Structure 1
Amino acid sequence: MDDLAWQAGNYGGLPPRKVGLLLERGHLDLVIRAAKERGEWFCAEGAVAELCRSGEFTRALEVMDPFVATGWRTALWARADILLRAGRTDEALDLVRPAEEGHTSQAACRNFAELLARAGRVDEAVDLLVPHLGESWIRTDLVKITEGQDRDERVLELLAPYAEAARRAREEGRWGHSGSDAQELQAQVLERAGRADEAIRILGEDMTEGRHLTQNTLTAYAELLARHDRLDELRELATGDRARTVLDIYAGALRDRGRAEEAETVMRDALAADDWVGYRSWLSSVLLLDGRLDDAITVAEPGFSWYDCSNLLSPLVHPLLDRPEELLRLLEHPLTVPHHGHQEFQHHWLAFALAGLGRAEEAIAVVEAHPDPWTDSSIVRAGLLSTAGHLAAAAAELRDRGTIEARRELFEVLVRQGRAAEAIAVHPTVAEQRAAEERAAEARTEAVALREDGYSLEPPF
């Protein structure tokens, strides 16, 4: 049970992405075997999902049974899910039904309520959540599990006092009130009940009178207007001190209706009046989406060297990671400058773009000239060789290295070579990963001098 909890909390063993890679390539039987022989939790989860999709519920239960036998609660819930999908509703509910004294556990009640709703016992589900509606996440779950269940009127009755309390809290200046989400949830339920005009009217009055606690409520109102073609009201809303919050929603609504040029003009006018990074970010991203890379660079370039989350180079790089020719064009553009204090990121991107074009030697030369002090150089070289399509050379590099991290990387190279069974065998086991993590933690504790507050005196801090 301890190993399973560690896997789930640390993405240990074979993580979901790697399990997905195996399943995409048709290796369901290998995934099932890894779950059974290696105790791989994410393999069990992935195999069960695949088997349930094809209606093989008996096999799915067989995969899950060894994990259930440990007594781990997450595995019990997974078994209950299989039983419910198989139409064995009473068995599913009895397996995870909270004990009477356990009703104070909000997480248990929420999970069981979702199961009840899926089993068609919606009123029981709602009753179970009612004592906990003071919590924002429980209210959100109430709205979620009742969607399409013909219970909107009851949900609205339950949400009404929380929405009113939020309005009073704003009037009284109590900004930290727990009901800050209730107004948008109320509007969401009204909208799905076919009462969108009422939702717009109520939230509109809240906006006019300043009776909302968070920007999320303002954003929800703007998105509601956009969904129902109330663009004149949305344009008016997206002015003054609210422009930074909702102007992108208005511009997005224009684009959704085929008015891209008008949306661009709106954002460029906003930039001319208020040179705010948010406007640059939105405009550069949509220009890139429209295939206008040079225009996107021109808009974003003033933010390329900022040393914080407002840096605008990264939002252009990531959509181009699978388009190496355009990525290289971006990174070699004369206006492109390194991150302030983060040059290694740009060198990594440049190497990746070159490798994607098959220029492996040039890519390796870039990272060798600008090594990342926190990354194993052998693994970096192997990654570039793999990206360039030199799988055998990448595999050899990783085999020679032989570390836990190198074996993790070797897994994907071998799968790409069509050697899935070997890939699983070479991937470090849960026990190996845990032992390596413990050794690394001990080494850090021994080797790193700490300040009085417990933080390292040396990088990485």
Structure 2
Amino acid sequence: MDASDLEYRARTRSGCIPPELVSRLLEHGHTDVVALQAADGEWFCALAWARLLGERGRQNDALDVLTPYLATGWWTAVEAAAQMLEDWGRIDEAIDIIRVRMEAGHPMALESYTRLLARHSRAAEAFTLLCPHTADPSLAAALVDVAGAAGRDEEAAVLLAARTEHQCSDFPWCCRGLDPDTALGLLATIRERQDRADEAIALLHTSSTTRLDHREQLAALLARHNRLDELRTVAATDDSGCAVRQLARSLEEHGDVEGAVEAYRQAGRPGAYDSGSVVELAQLLARHGRGSEAIEVMRMQADISNGDDWVLRILADLCLAQNNPEDGLAHLDALAATRHGEERWDLYRIRLPLIAAHDGVDEAVTQARTHPESTTWYAASHIAELLADAGRVEEAVTVLEQHASTSSHELASYLIDLGRVQDALALLQLHTLERQRLS
């Protein structure tokens, strides 16, 4: 095994059995297959098998499964093993396994090590280790979290305050990434924890006009302290929409559904510039039995956004949830008419579940096959999904077999459902060999 190869395959989900297929195998009772593949370099199989062994009380066997992966020095394997050891209460071993990588200089190990120490009554030690590293954003964030457990908030605040005064000459190189605004946000976290909410709010107001993360932090802080009038004031001038969403969520949590709806409407939503808030408004209405209003909200947004596929997908999903597929189809038909009846596949596919709900799966598949892009691999994927959702998995497999090289994971999942596990594995291994040949 090689750490670089393991990392590439895990990150890209290529040349391996991906986690969703491992779960599929386990759901169908194929633990023996997962165990064999774990011993053959399949990381996601190894991880799932080790966890399962741990749950069965076979902790040492679980660690044996991970040993070949740990031997490569691959950080993901180290972190997974440490997490298992911690979950089993074997804290010293978890600390040791991370410490070794930290001493070897792994760039992610210090944060993991210090957070682990802090979780197990060694926060003061963790704080001391982190103090020299406040210029690193992730380590500075760890310092803030650890400081609370160590009772050293004020020391952390002094370190961060010094960073807020730094004048960047060549961001991010001159300050290694921890710019003054980021330091302000971390300092605000400490002040809130010290019950100095007014100071935290003042700090966030300093830079919240430009930093989206600070706007979100300020809105959440105001909501936590039930300062809804101030949150309304912020929402009125926040064109990012995050304060509006936080206000609406807070009002809903307090049982004021109408107030939450009004928060969106007063802010000028739905509107072309904050589709996210529009979606949340529609979801809010749907959650409270106001499905027709939710559909109307998304229909208005679909008109404004002029055919954004993700907006149309949400509209279609709402229509399906309300058992009203004809409304979704009518909107898609009207949109297609403005384009002389032409729809690219990423829009056309949105209508397929609506057709299936209205006229049946066979009609949806028939119509799908009339589209100019119906012979592509991506169209085959959506047609197969329609069939599989209707319980017609063998037909889904037939559709995808023509595109096995580009739809290997999806095809393998259906093969597993049919009990054709060896066929699924052979398909994935062939895909792996092809990738290795091309590389």
Matched residue SS, 2:62: helix
Shift in alpha-carbon separation, 1:35–1:410, aligned structure 2, 3 A: same
The aligned residue for residue 303 of structure 1 is 301
Matches within 5 A, 1:107-146: 107-144=108-145, 146=146
Q: Find the aligned partners of 1:409 and 1:225 in 2 and give their Cα distance.
A: 45
Matched residue SS, 1:219: helix
Matches within 5 A, 1:376-391: 377-391=379-393
> Is 2:311 aligned against 1:312?
yes
1:89-148 C-alpha deviation (Å, 9 max, x unpaired): 444444442478745x5323223323433454333333332222212222223345x38x
Q: Find the aligned partners of 1:211 and 1:368 in 2 and give their Cα distance.
A: 51
The aligned residue for residue 33 of structure 1 is 36
Q: Find the aligned partners of 1:255 and 1:109 in 2 and give their Cα distance.
A: 40
Q: Find the aligned partners of 1:281 and 1:240 in 2 and give their Cα distance.
A: 20
The letter of the residue matching 2:387 is L
Q: Find the aligned partners of 2:56 and 2:154 in 1 and give their Cα distance.
A: 38
1:397-416 C-alpha deviation (Å, 9 max, x unpaired): 445x3723444323222333
1:188-243 C-alpha deviation (Å, 9 max, x unpaired): 3444x4x44x12x0133335666876232232122112122221222233223568
Matches within 5 A, 1:364-403: 364-372=365-373, 375=377, 377-399=379-401, 401=402, 403=404
Shift in alpha-carbon separation, 1:51–1:258, aligned structure 2, 3 A: same
Q: Find the aligned partners of 1:208 and 1:41 in 2 and give their Cα distance.
A: 46
The letter of the residue matching 2:302 is F
Shift in alpha-carbon separation, 1:440–1:385, aligned structure 2, 3 A: farther
Shift in alpha-carbon separation, 1:179–1:47, aligned structure 2, 3 A: farther
Residue 63 of structure 2 contacts residue 81 of structure 2 at CA under 8 Å; is this kept in 1? yes
Residue 356 of structure 1 contacts residue 387 of structure 1 at CA under 8 Å; is this kept in 2? no
1:17-60 C-alpha deviation (Å, 9 max, x unpaired): 22223334554443222212x42111111222333344431221
Matches within 5 A, 1:208-219: 214-219=211-216
The aligned residue for residue 284 of structure 2 is 286
Q: Find the aligned partners of 2:266 and 2:317 in 1 and give their Cα distance.
A: 27
Matched residue SS, 1:238: helix
The aligned residue for residue 9 of structure 1 is 11
Residue 222 of structure 1 contacts residue 246 of structure 1 at CA under 8 Å; is this kept in 2? yes
* More divergent stretch after superposition (359-368 vs 301-310): 301-310
Shift in alpha-carbon separation, 1:8–1:357, aligned structure 2, 3 A: farther
The letter of the residue matching 1:262 is G
Match of 1:236 among 227, 233, 237: 233
Q: Find the aligned partners of 1:88 and 1:272 in 2 and give their Cα distance.
A: 52
Shift in alpha-carbon separation, 1:245–1:9, aligned structure 2, 3 A: closer
* More divergent stretch after superposition (340-349 vs 54-63): 340-349
Shift in alpha-carbon separation, 1:22–1:188, aligned structure 2, 3 A: farther
Query: TM-score scaled to structure 1, two decimals?
Result: 0.76
Q: Find the aligned partners of 2:79 and 2:269 in 1 and give their Cα distance.
A: 55
Aligned residue-pair number: 425
Q: Find the aligned partners of 1:264 and 1:231 in 2 and give their Cα distance.
A: 15
Matches within 5 A, 1:315-394: 315-317=314-316, 323=321, 325-326=323-324, 329-333=327-331, 337=335, 343-355=344-356, 359-372=360-373, 375=377, 377-394=379-396
The aligned residue for residue 263 of structure 1 is 260
Residue 397 of structure 2 contacts residue 415 of structure 2 at CA under 8 Å; is this kept in 1? yes
The aligned residue for residue 152 of structure 2 is 154
Shift in alpha-carbon separation, 1:167–1:242, aligned structure 2, 3 A: farther
Once the two structures are TM-superposed, the CA of residue 168 in structure 1 deviates from its matched residue by 7.4
The letter of the residue matching 1:232 is D
Q: Find the aligned partners of 1:230 and 1:138 in 2 and give their Cα distance.
A: 31
Q: Find the aligned partners of 2:385 and 2:253 in 1 and give their Cα distance.
A: 39
Q: Find the aligned partners of 2:376 and 2:330 in 1 and give their Cα distance.
A: 25
Shift in alpha-carbon separation, 1:21–1:208, aligned structure 2, 3 A: same
Residue 76 of structure 1 contacts residue 96 of structure 1 at CA under 8 Å; is this kept in 2? yes
> Is 2:421 aligned against 1:425?
no
Q: Find the aligned partners of 1:274 and 1:9 in 2 and give their Cα distance.
A: 37
The letter of the residue matching 2:395 is A
The aligned residue for residue 68 of structure 1 is 70
Residue 159 of structure 1 contacts residue 186 of structure 1 at CA under 8 Å; is this kept in 2? yes
1:151-179 C-alpha deviation (Å, 9 max, x unpaired): 2x314421443246437769x9x999614
The aligned residue for residue 50 of structure 1 is 52
Once the two structures are TM-superposed, the CA of residue 263 in structure 1 deviates from its matched residue by 2.0
The letter of the residue matching 2:13 is Y
Residue 325 of structure 1 contacts residue 353 of structure 1 at CA under 8 Å; is this kept in 2? no
Q: Find the aligned partners of 1:320 and 1:415 in 2 and give their Cα distance.
A: 32
Point out where structure 2 has 5 or more consecutive residues left out of the alignment: none
Point out where structure 1 has 5 or more consecutive residues left out of the alignment: 442-461
